[in-house]
Amino acid sequence: MRFRAYVLLFAVMFALAWEAEAYWSIASAACGGQIGNKGFFWAIHRDCSTNGDGMTCAQVCKANEQRLLGYIKHRRPSVDCYDAFYVSYRVMYHYNTGCTWRANHCGPNYCCCRTPN
């Protein structure tokens, strides 16, 4: 009986991880479609709940700047926000000005961050 419980727990955890990965993949593709010019880009998840991280997308990109620049061995000087999306199970919404969407208010849950050319 304990084995079944562990298998069920693993299946639920795998399904939740796959769902998060699928949303991130969709957001990454959307950000790539909006970049408009050459540059490195990333889709970074933003906690937009009322008890969230208290950051706008512009702040999320800056807070992750050193980590993101490390991925490209600091070949660019900085990272900034250029767009934002809300991605969920059945809905996707594009925020043209999502970089400054107020913190802890659900709007965009993925921030598009890029390096300048």
pLDDT digits (tens, 9 = 90+) for 42-75: 999 998 788 888 899 999 999 999 999 999 998 8
Q: Give the containing element (helix H, strand E) for 42.
A: strand 41-45
83, β-bridge pairs: 112
pLDDT at 17: 46
pLDDT at 102: 87
> CA 19, CA 13: separation in Å to the nearest integer?
10
* pTM for the predicted model, two decimal places: 0.80
Residue 108 CB-density burial (10 A; 0-12 exposed, 13-18 middle, 19+ buried)? buried
Sequence-distant (6+) residues with CB within 8 A of 105 are 48, 50
